[in-house]
Amino acid sequence: LELWLRQRQHMARGLPKQKPIAGVKEVIVVASGKGGVGKSTTAVNLALGLMANDQSKSVGLLDADVYGPSIPKLMNLKGNPELTDKNLMRPLVNFGIPCMSMGFLVEEVAPIVWRGLMVMSAIEKLIRQVDWGNLDYLVIDMPPGTGDVQLSITQNIPIAGAVIVSTPQDIALLDARRGAEMFRKVNVPVLGLVQNMSVFQCPKCSHQTHIFGSDGAKELAQTLGVEMLGDIPLHLNIRETSDKGQPVVVSSPDSPEVSESLTRKPRPSHNPKRGSITMAM
């Protein structure tokens, strides 16, 4: 026991100190192991869903993908952040959500070729040199993978929980599992899994096809002992609204592709229309 305690102390000393983000109550990261499974889409709609579900909550969105920022396009934002008199960047705001992304700071066409340390200091800036105001939730859209960037984000800021996104395909699930294990190792609670692109319904004949498999993420959630937070169909409207910068949660809140994504019954709400777009929380 003593040895174990000493090891624990040693480990605690070895870890960098977690410093809260000024003004931010809870940080939620949206992650996956594999790329292209729908993290950014989920992060955006989660942020909007959290706010729509309880309008008294303020929600921000941080794009931690400095190589391939998606938030400018998904949130229909561009331009350079202004500086406050304290020299902090003012987030750009759309749909009531303050956002920060590398995409606001560099030219769209410029190739970003950076080494690890530069990536980390860029992310530090995007997190801390920003006037977030007072936020109940900051949703972080993570880059794909379980490498140094993901690890150092989890070690540098206190994170309330991680949402893992996966398609039901074996290779995606394997990476999702790796992601979940990484978070557990650094003591970040895994809030649960979102299964994305499980079912495609033919718009002509309504026939359903499970392109990437049907229940893979559900089974993984069971294995890991975490919750299934949502099951999002592969739907043209989700892709089109994303590309237009009109996220589906705001542009078609009552559509089946939004309501069918819910595995949990929405909480009762004073505003029934709003109540139907609880997502993943």
Ligand X SMILES: Nc1ncnc2c1ncn2[C@@H]1O[C@H](COP(=O)(O)OP(=O)(O)OP(=O)(O)O)[C@@H](O)[C@H]1O
Provide, rounded to whole angstroms, the least separation between the CB of residue 141 and Mg ion: 6
User: Which one of residues 101, 146, 166, 242 is an interface residue with ligand X (CB under 6 A)?
Assistant: 242
Structure tokens at 145: 């993978």
Structure tokens at 257: 């592709």
Provide, rounded to whole angstroms, the least separation between the CB of residue 175 and ligand X: 10
Provide, rounded to whole angstroms, the least separation between the CB of residue 215 and ligand X: 16
The 10 Å Cβ neighbour count of residue 251 is 17
- Do 66 and 148 contact (CB within 8 A), yes or no? no
User: Which one of residues 238, 258, 277, 279 is an interface residue with ligand X (CB under 6 A)?
Assistant: 238
Residue 70 within binding range of Mg ion, rule CB under 5 A: yes
Pairwise CA distance, residues 111 & 74, whole Å: 20
Say what the alpha-carbon torsion angle 176, 178, 181, 185 is, to the nearest 10 degrees: -130
Provide, rounded to whole angstroms, the least separation between the CB of residue 16 and ligand X: 25
Provide, rounded to whole angstroms, the least separation between the CB of residue 100 and Mg ion: 15
Residue 39 within binding range of Mg ion, rule CB under 5 A: yes
Provide, rounded to whole angstroms, the least separation between the CB of residue 12 and ligand X: 32
Residue 68 within binding range of ligand X, rule CB under 6 A: yes
List of residues 6+ apart from 38 with CB closer than 8 A: 32, 165, 167, 194, 196, 197, 232
The phi-psi region of residue 245 (left if phi > 0; otherwise alpha if psi is between -120 and 50; otherwise beta) is left
User: Which one of residues 32, 40, 58, 154 is an interface residue with Mg ion (CB under 5 A)?
Assistant: 40
User: Which one of residues 45, 196, 252, 263 is an interface residue with ligand X (CB under 6 A)?
Assistant: 196
- Cβ-based burial of 155 (10 A; exposed 0-12, middle 13-18, buried ≥19): middle
Pairwise CA distance, residues 264 & 112, whole Å: 40
- CA quadruple 234, 235, 240, 245: dihedral sign: negative
Residue 73 within binding range of ligand X, rule CB under 6 A: no
The interface region with Mg ion, picked from 62-70, 105-113, 194-202, 212-220 by CB under 5 A, is: 62-70
**Closest CB to Mg ion among 144 and 216?**
144
> Residues 3-42: x/- map of binding to ligand X (CB under 6 A)?
-----------------------------x--xxxxxxx-
Q: Which of residues 90-149 bind ligand X (CB under 6 A)?
A: 144
Helix (H) or strand (E) holding 280: none
Q: Parallel, antiparallel, or unpaired for β 97-100 and 161-166?
A: unpaired
Provide, rounded to whole angstroms, the least separation between the CB of residue 41 and Zn ion: 24
Return residues touching ligand X (CB under 6 A): 32, 35-41, 65, 68, 70, 144, 196-197, 232, 234-235, 238-239, 242
Return residues touching Mg ion (CB under 5 A): 39-40, 70
